[in-house]
A and B are shown apart, each in its own frame.
Chain A
Amino acid sequence: MASQVKSRWADDEADAVLEAKRKREKELKRKAKVERQRKLEEESSQKNAAPIDVGIKGHEGLNGESGRPFKRRRFSPERHTATVEPAAANLLRFPALEWSPCRHVDNFEKLNHIEEGSYGWVSRAKETATGDIVALKKLKMENANDGFPVTGLREIQTLMASRHENIVTLREVVMGDQLDDVFLVMDFLEHDLKTLQEDMLDGFSPSEIKTLLLQLTSAVEYLHSNWILHRDLKTSNLLMNNRGQMKVADFGMARYYGDPPPKLTQLVVTLWYRAPELLLGAEKYGAEIDLWSVGCIFGELLIKQPLLQGKNEVDQLSKIFGLCGIPTEAAWPGFKRLPNARSLRLPNTTQTTGAVIRARFPLLTTAGTTLLTSLLSLNPAQRSTAKEVLTHSYFQEDPKPKSTVMFPTFPSKAGQEKRRKVASPSAPKRGDAPKIVGEAVDFSGIFANRDDEEVGGGFALKLI
């Protein structure tokens, strides 16, 4: 500041430097003094301690062992003095976590019902002892013929292992009177992104979208770096509080995975957010499927409604190919050999292979389009990883991501009010994935009348 503009009080700068120098010297002197004092004190305390030491030795002397060195062999020479403690403190100590049997659900007072998710009922509750408002999620025990549902176990296991500011916190697990009454106690958040967006007039602004996407991706990045797949990312599973903070919730489909990927069930992720390789029946998949969902959510935030609303698996695929183009053997090597791809009859003209993302999102900047295109890349190997998304240039360009504290607040719907229901498919039930079989499915129609389509940027007033 001062260096840029020539000050009218030119000698003030020099004065300031001098003043700073004096101050430093003073500080140094003071420190030296304190140091001397400390040393003095240490010496005196050692002198005080010495007689006691001698006393002990003298006591030992009664047993005829006087003058013996320490019984235990010392390995490092510095360790003779009493100041051993700092050296030992370098070791990493894990917090000693404990466990005790589950508490009873009576410790919580149910306030109101929130919603019924795919794997349980959620209600708002108050912990009687502390007054904390929490969300209580009752696990569904439908597949009880195999004992405790494995999905519930995995949900608890993965949620417990995840501590991140953008992942909902599992506080504890409590039980009711029956052995199969199991409740997850989680932080209560006021909104979910889906209803919030439906109730907003204009949707989120570009800067808010960036913040939301960054929060989502940092949670996904955390999960993937801990080898957890979420497998059901969608806007209704993204919770928001009134401080602009988003948290990923509902780990009902989450599980640990490995490298090489183990054989996993294909019937995961809500249809509209399901990656093409899952729809085509890939036996092995990995973190890429979550990034596809992130891409769908990104698109949904931009256009204020779900991006790819397929009615069934085949329709979903055709919607995907309509947006991203028909995959070619060059763009996605080996996709033809996927189980469900064999029965697909795909038009084989070059004009249908390119993505129309650019045209579908005319208001998105070039960087934004590249990001969305890479997230919605048909070939899972070419899809961005969460780490890559976090450093994407889209987030560096203007408008910058909005600070969470600047987010608008909204009236809480999860409180007492009933919500408007908009039909959307729920997460698939466990079981075998339906095969796309039978007569060959004809996709040649989806690009008919392409020339009649409206293209171009359109017009909008609000950009930021």
Chain B
Amino acid sequence: MFRKHVPLMPCRAVGAHERCSVDMIPPDIAPMTPELDQISSLSNLLATVEQLSLSSSQLDGVPTDLDSSLRFAGAQLTQAAGLLLRLPQEIIAQAIVILYRFYVGSEGGSFRINAVKDVSAASLYMTAKVSFLPQSTRSILNVYAYLLSPACPLRKPPQTSTKPDPESYYLSEGSYQAARATLLQTESILLRSISFITQVTLPHHLALYYLQTLGVLTPASTPKSTALAARTLAHLNTALLSPQLVYLTHQPPALAVASVYLAAKEVGIKLASVEWWEVFDVDREELGFLVVALRSCEAWIQAEKVRWRDGSCPLTLDELETEIKKKDGECL
């Protein structure tokens, strides 16, 4: 009658992946299959093929390459805002994933209707709100006002060396109220689009746990093992910017395994010579795909940097309209 529930992961704290210690699992429940509609603390929602192949922005006439660029700019903007607000990477990463979820699919949001700067702010605001570190609307909007001003290094052509004018990122009371209304409205639109599922599971803590399980991250840290852990996390953070939206297509264990694999290769630490990734429920095919995806990030980000080096990436609706007009003009 009272089937004692065995949670998939007994605690949310760092690295409690019980599956590896098989002897801890009572025999009658050994084949663990998560319940079908369970939002687990180990898995994520994944985008469907239809959602990935057609976005609402494309339907609205945003070229595919610009679509990717805007998504990248949004992620970059969120990351920068999170850093300025001194938020932990956990919250920032979740906000970026939610931003991606919003813009994906024909039923999702469109860049031409909801500007990427607004969605980025709303996503960060909402993610921080449900976390342990809520942020006020004013801090969020102040940070975004700065990030969108010409004073911000993200938006400034590199040659200009003039001292930035503080006036350009001062948020007056009037514009604060207007921006706040937009922020709160965008938040509601965002929540409706993602169906109120704010849970984003990150692979970061899994990756560290995998490193420990593989015996390469011991309590007595060596320079090499520290470098390995840092590199692993760096890969996971870079993957947040991937145009292939790997956080929407692969589960956290797969991302963690791929970053561990790649980091170990780069740092020069030999991992077990067996198919260790299968212990973490990742097959070779998936690992290979992700390794290629992660390695291609760098070149893509460099290309994006060059493309928008004058700081002209269209983050607001007006800028986007101008950009699309310019593109149409080029085509004609």
Q: Could you list which residues of chain A lie within 8 angstroms of chain B, going by C-beta atoms?
A: 75-76, 88, 90-102, 144, 146-148, 150, 153-154, 156-157, 160-161, 163-165, 172-173, 175, 179-180, 182, 214-215, 218, 221-222, 225-227, 256, 258-259, 262, 390, 401, 403-404
Contacts and interface: CB of A to CB of B under 8 A. Distances in A.
The 9 closest A-B pairs by CB, nearest first: A94-B43, A179-B188, A147-B184, A92-B281, A173-B196, A91-B281, A227-B12, A262-B132, A96-B46
A92 B43 CA distance: 11
A234 B192 CA distance: 31
B314 interface: no
A251 to B, nearest CB: 13
A142 to B, nearest CB: 14
Interface residues of B, number: 63
Interface in B188-218: 188-189, 191-199
A153 B40 CA distance: 17
10 contacts: A75-B275, A91-B278, A91-B283, A94-B42, A147-B187, A157-B199, A160-B196, A218-B4, A390-B2, A401-B1
B43 A99 contact: no
Contacts of B284: 75
B5 A157 contact: no
B36 A95 contact: yes
Given A75-B275, A97-B43, A147-B137, A88 B107 contact: no
A218 B6 CA distance: 11
Contacts of A225: 7, 10-11
A262 B12 CA distance: 14
| From A144, A160, A404, residue with most partner B Cβ within 10 Å | A160
Contact of A148 (B1, B44, B137, B188): B188
B45 A154 contact: no
B142 interface: no
| From B13, B51, B129, residue with most partner A Cβ within 10 Å | B129
A179 B198 contact: no
Contact of B2 (A90, A161, A175, A215): A215
A225 B12 CA distance: 9
A147 B188 contact: yes
A246 to B, nearest CB: 11
Given A157-B130, A403-B1, A163 B46 contact: no
A93 B283 CA distance: 11
Nearest to A402: B1
B5 A218 contact: yes
Contact of B12 (A94, A150, A258, A401): A258
A147 B186 CA distance: 10
B197 A99 contact: yes
Given A92-B19, A99-B197, A226-B41, A153 B192 contact: no
A97 B37 contact: yes
A173 B281 CA distance: 32
Contacts of B44: 97
A101 B187 contact: no
Given A96-B46, A148-B129, A179-B185, 12 more contacts: A97-B46, A99-B101, A101-B192, A101-B195, A153-B196, A160-B39, A160-B196, A160-B197, A179-B189, A227-B12, A258-B132, A259-B13
